[in-house]
Amino acid sequence: MEATLFYILAFVTVIGTVLAITEKHPVHAIVYLVTSFFSLAMIFFLLSAPLIAMFEVIIYAGAVMVLFMFVIMMLDLGRPSEAGRPVVRQWLLPSVLGGVILLSIVAVAVRHFSAPGTQGMISITDFSVTLFRKYGIAIEIISMQLLFAVVGALYLGRKR
């Protein structure tokens, strides 16, 4: 039953992403992308990562996408007549490149990743202990990075 749910959610994710990248209206594209991120969050939940699923909903579908929406509305880019969709000729070569990468990844995955893994659920306790014991220094570095991003965004966005 969980496997069926995974395939349904994978289908929704892929269709939502395809609709998002072919949509010429940026606001609609972001709404499609939020749909895709919600189903991806459910996939994370099925892969025994409930905390990552929650962060996906809160940070990606919540904060990041709302930030995109906010910038689109602030710069008034939501008019579909201005945003020209690329013509069919422009889609051709990137699709070939993407297809080559996709096929190579799938070929490598089918050959190499069929080794048996270990079973066992990862609890949130395991996750937190690993996060703060083993990778405590990474948390500090990432907090510095977020601080620098805030400073940089303030510098770029200041009035002159």
Site for other proteins in 71-90 (CB under 8 A): 71-72, 74-75, 77, 83-86, 90
CB of 84: closest distance to other proteins in angstroms? Answer: 5
Query: Is 44 one of the binding residues for other proteins (CB under 8 A)?
Result: yes
The residue from 38, 48, 73, 81 that contacts other proteins (CB under 8 A) is: 48
Where do we find the tokens 């990862």? 122
Query: Is 59 one of the binding residues for other proteins (CB under 8 A)?
Result: yes
Q: What is the 3 state secondary structure string of 39-52?
A: HHHHHHHHCCCHHH
Answer yes or no: are the C-beta atoms of 29 and 20 closer than 8 Å: yes
CB neighbours of 20 closer than 8 A, spacing ≥ 6?
Answer: 29, 30, 32, 33, 36
**Cα angle value 152/153/159 (rounded, 5°):** 110
Query: Is 47 one of the binding residues for other proteins (CB under 8 A)?
Result: yes
The residue from 8, 14, 73, 140 that contacts other proteins (CB under 8 A) is: 14
What residues from 104 to 123 belong to the interface with other proteins (CB under 8 A)? 105-106, 109-110, 113-114, 117-122
